[in-house]
Structure 1
């Protein structure tokens, strides 16, 4: 409730003023009539009506009406004084009530502006004046463009309409100080209605320090990204060189393989070359891939099986490969470990289980089992009569398999006959 309404309710409520004047007039009038009647009666008892009556009556009328007017005006003055006193008291109360709000507004960190819908200032707080370098009287009644050159008369009014119809409106803009310097401002605005008129209340905050910090972080991120890109290029180059060096070693073994006549030595050189290719393949994937730390297992195994088939399978041997691999991503180290184990098991199957002119099957299933990974690899060959021999063999390949599974993968390995030889390997999904 504003001051005007309070005065109306406290002073003029229920026509008290009109009743007060009317009642006073009636009382004074009645007393005046009675008093005048007494005077006239007394006068005519002692004087002649024809000689002095009209003059005396006129004098008495003037005196009585003057007295009545005096009393009424005096009463009106007292009423007006009471109204003025009440108005001042209410005004003081209103000021006291507004002191906390004015203090909060003027001491706000944010600049606060009130605008009419045609984008003219009707209120600014001290923070706004301090931020822009203006005095309040220099802004009140002025258009928005005086401090924000990004707006024109037309766009400013359009923006006010947009704010009034929006729940949450915000904008990053620039504002011009009185001295011409530009500051970066984040503005939020809300529409409200007061005394039957629509206004816009806007809050402005200087975000220059925030933008400087943001730019600083952006520059740091760019520098870090540049450093990361350089390191990725370097790592790719390292993987490329490692792969090339392994290919050179493989080529040397191939040259030696062609010169050797002993079949046992040839087999050793062939397996060594195949093992080197298994490791080189990991570095090739890292060099060609987007991620320098992890490899998609399914893609790697598909390529590994193709390379092994090319090395060990003759043109007369038909081989069907059944791959069922969950979506897994392994680190470089684990990929080499799993790749070496699969290489040895696949080579054994290709060498001993598969025959020409028959349907050969090799299956590799790799599944996630809660916290573990289960690898099942088998063939449709004849199997083995003595499974235990696989745990006690002096074969380099089998020793390599047991060493990797048990010592490096911290897993278990189990062989069994299942329409051929089947190997089951279980190891933790989490890498140490």
Structure 2
């Protein structure tokens, strides 16, 4: 027996007792588990820090937003109160306004000044020097453009001494005035630094209009922004956290540290506000830089955002939130908290975790030794039993004396495995027999398919669209005079054999099907045979397999030689063309013969002097001309089965107008004819009817060269009913004329034609004469 594949003949490998392997696995598992636990603990600690930091930042931001909303709302509330007072009371007394503003200043400690500028350029103002400073009042002489005077006041609000005078003051030129007037409603002006250097203020202004919407002036309130600085400083943002507020431009509004958000290095230069990127405070500066990198230099922030940045290698957590009001105020509230404020507890927890890891490893190693023995001993016994089974001792008794559930289950599995293996061998032998029978049935089915294709004289192709390879059957090659060995099994072979004139149309249809626009692919095209002749092929196929993206993968189809059928169709086409020419010639000759008859009638009518004879001759001529129009139309068209109704009717009317020498100024013709097609029988009947009706209208409806209009209409109604109407606005139906039982030749001819159409007709004499004919379209 060949034992080349016997495992015992292979080169010996280093093998180790399962007991030591289990101990090593236990130790490595404990090391891995404790390391993962420590890492997860550290990550969870950092996550907890982030969550606490985020919660604190959210809370701080919310408090700042609430404070700003209340702080800023006071200004507009004061403006609306003062505007209402001025509008209703027409309050122009300077002293009374000063006193009213002085009382309001005492109530609102956050307000710098309250004032009113009128349309004459005058102003009244009451304010304080600084958040804790003395109060003052300001007014212009005569409450109009002119000198501006500032006075100290006593405890009763009365001016005491002049503090400052400025000539040529005009309130109408101040930004707070022009901004409110331009907007037409409440507005905020730009933040400015007081020239005294005591702080920054922002102004809320509001235009005042009377009941006729005439401008009375602008009320305004200045707010000390140092109040916001004081509020931010009292918040207590962690240990070393800070908050600041800035505009979209980056200019600082307020900070939580005592540093002023404005200043100047030169005493001769006016004080300027600090940009956040140029702040002396490193937290403000680095935070602004991080925001500009993330959102651009204009800080395009629409909702609350969180990000982290480093200052000297230390991580800081930042939250920025926009704050807006309905008066176009748009600031950003930034809260920054260093991560180090929360890390002390994390480091302590990590040291405790490390100690627990060491203790866990020692306990795990001891437990591993015990578990290794409990596992390795019964495994050794199970190994001996397995070796016996490998020698073919299928009935060897497997001992189950382990106290471990898994080992006991493994022992039972070994026993069940031997039984199942024997059953599997039996099933495998059965499946081999069934597989052989299935292969025989498949071969038989393929043979029957080949016989069907040969019997139907069809060529078969199976195209792998991805590779271009095609499987052709023998009949496919025989159709064009080749053997299967001479045909290259590729789609390019079929393309090379195709007639150049057919390539574009075939490829268009094939691509339509490959791209899913058609359910099947079908064409008739020519292929060059081996002898150089061309054969017509009916080619039909379908994509049966597409990939997950919908791209075609496999298509199958068949070829059928239709050369004989195509030649037969060509012969039939030539015969049909010859018959069409013959029919055109017949209609031409009939039209010419009718034209000769019409000319003869015309000559006879001209020679006849008796009106009773001449009139029937002319009427007969018009009838002949109506029938001749049919044949002329058929001669000129490619479709001999139908007549286009509108053109036919217009020709008849035009001939009648010419025959009776009627000009358009005397009688006008109006048409409302829908697109209707009639066969030749219906067209002749309808043409004769219209000929009679229009002739009667031309002869009798407008006596004494009375002007009028003849109307012709046709319409295809429901259920294929055709309605043709001819009416005029002439003298109407003659008295005593019985149209239902006509005696005149013309009316009897109309009745005869209506009966041939199997239709109905009626005459209505209201404001002229109207005749309506109805029949079913064939």
Same fold per superposition (TM over 0.5): yes
Out of 391, 394, 398, the residue aligned to residue 747 of structure 2 is 398
Does the alignment pair 1:322 with 2:659? no
Name the CA distance, whole Å, in 2 between partners of 1:230 and 1:418.
53
Find the residue that maps to 1:290 and give its secondary structure: coil
Are the structure 2 counterparts of residues 294 and 19 from structure 1 closer, same or farther at C-alpha, using a change threshold of 3 Å? farther
Q: How does 1:367-386 map to 2 (within 5 A)?
A: 367-371=715-719, 372-386=721-735
TM-superposition CA deviations, 1:203-244 (whole Å, max 9, x none) = 575x3xx31xx2222222222222221111111111111111
Are the structure 2 counterparts of residues 27 and 266 from structure 1 closer, same or farther at C-alpha, using a change threshold of 3 Å? closer
TM-superposition CA deviations, 1:48-99 (whole Å, max 9, x none) = xxxxxxxxxxxxxxxxxxxxxxxxxxxxxxxxxx999998776555434433
Find the residue that maps to 1:293 and give its secondary structure: coil
Does the alignment pair 1:275 with 2:633? no
In 2, are the aligned partners of 1:120 and 1:144 still within 8 Å (CA)?
no
Q: How does 1:247-266 map to 2 (within 5 A)?
A: 247-266=595-614
Find the residue that maps to 2:618 and give its secondary structure: helix
Find the residue that maps to 1:341 and give its secondary structure: helix
Out of 324, 342, 350, the residue aligned to residue 698 of structure 2 is 350
1:360 Cα deviation after fit: 0.8
Are the structure 2 counterparts of residues 358 and 216 from structure 1 closer, same or farther at C-alpha, using a change threshold of 3 Å? same
Does the alignment pair 1:331 with 2:679? yes
Out of 198, 203, 226, the residue aligned to residue 574 of structure 2 is 226
Q: How does 1:97-246 map to 2 (within 5 A)?
A: 97-109=438-450, 128=473, 145=488, 150=493, 205=558, 207=559, 210-211=560-561, 214-246=562-594
Name the CA distance, whole Å, in 2 between partners of 1:294 and 1:114.
48
Name the CA distance, whole Å, in 2 between partners of 1:241 and 1:27.
111
Find the residue that maps to 2:493 and give its secondary structure: coil
TM-superposition CA deviations, 1:272-304 (whole Å, max 9, x none) = 211111111111011111111210111100111
Q: Which has the higher contact order (CA 8 A, sep 6+)?
A: 1
- Flag structure 2 segments of 5+ consecutive residues without an equivalent: 1-381, 393-422, 454-459, 479-483, 496-510, 548-552
In 2, are the aligned partners of 1:176 and 1:183 still within 8 Å (CA)?
no
Are the structure 2 counterparts of residues 381 and 222 from structure 1 closer, same or farther at C-alpha, using a change threshold of 3 Å? same
1:245 Cα deviation after fit: 0.9
In 2, are the aligned partners of 1:317 and 1:355 still within 8 Å (CA)?
no
Name the CA distance, whole Å, in 2 between partners of 1:252 and 1:114.
74
In 2, are the aligned partners of 1:383 and 1:417 still within 8 Å (CA)?
yes
TM-superposition CA deviations, 1:125-151 (whole Å, max 9, x none) = xx9579879xxxxx9xx9983798827
The two structures, once aligned, show a CA RMSD in angstroms of 4.7
Out of 736, 746, 759, the residue aligned to residue 411 of structure 1 is 759
TM-score (norm: length of structure 1): 0.60
In 2, are the aligned partners of 1:412 and 1:427 still within 8 Å (CA)?
yes
In 2, are the aligned partners of 1:387 and 1:415 still within 8 Å (CA)?
no
User: Which residue in the other structure is 1:292 paired with?
Assistant: 640
Name the CA distance, whole Å, in 1 between partners of 2:669 and 2:643.
21
Find the residue that maps to 1:265 and give its secondary structure: helix
1:183 Cα deviation after fit: 13
User: Which residue in the other structure is 2:711 paired with?
Assistant: 363
In 2, are the aligned partners of 1:316 and 1:357 still within 8 Å (CA)?
no
Are the structure 2 counterparts of residues 385 and 112 from structure 1 closer, same or farther at C-alpha, using a change threshold of 3 Å? closer
Name the CA distance, whole Å, in 1 between partners of 2:631 and 2:726.
24
How many residues align structurally?
323
Does the alignment pair 1:23 with 2:387? yes
Find the residue that maps to 2:696 and give its secondary structure: helix
TM-superposition CA deviations, 1:231-261 (whole Å, max 9, x none) = 1111111111111111111212222222222
1:268 Cα deviation after fit: 2.1
In 1, are the aligned partners of 2:726 and 2:770 still within 8 Å (CA)?
yes
Find the residue that maps to 1:322 and give its secondary structure: strand
Are the structure 2 counterparts of residues 238 and 185 from structure 1 closer, same or farther at C-alpha, using a change threshold of 3 Å? closer
Are the structure 2 counterparts of residues 112 and 345 from structure 1 closer, same or farther at C-alpha, using a change threshold of 3 Å? closer
Are the structure 2 counterparts of residues 148 and 272 from structure 1 closer, same or farther at C-alpha, using a change threshold of 3 Å? closer
In 2, are the aligned partners of 1:409 and 1:427 still within 8 Å (CA)?
yes
TM-score (norm: length of structure 2): 0.35
Find the residue that maps to 1:389 and give its secondary structure: coil
1:332 Cα deviation after fit: 1.1
1:201 Cα deviation after fit: 7.2
Name the CA distance, whole Å, in 1 between partners of 2:765 and 2:581.
48
In 1, are the aligned partners of 2:465 and 2:554 still within 8 Å (CA)?
no
Are the structure 2 counterparts of residues 374 and 100 from structure 1 closer, same or farther at C-alpha, using a change threshold of 3 Å? same
Out of 664, 677, 688, the residue aligned to residue 340 of structure 1 is 688
Larger Rg, first or second structure (1 or 2): 2
Name the CA distance, whole Å, in 2 between partners of 1:224 and 1:183.
17
In 1, are the aligned partners of 2:702 and 2:731 still within 8 Å (CA)?
no
Q: How does 1:62-101 map to 2 (within 5 A)?
A: 91-92=432-433, 94-101=435-442
| Stretch moving more, 184-193 or 285-294 | 184-193
1:424 Cα deviation after fit: 2.1
Q: Please state which structure has a larger fraction of its residues in helix.
A: 1
Are the structure 2 counterparts of residues 201 and 226 from structure 1 closer, same or farther at C-alpha, using a change threshold of 3 Å? closer
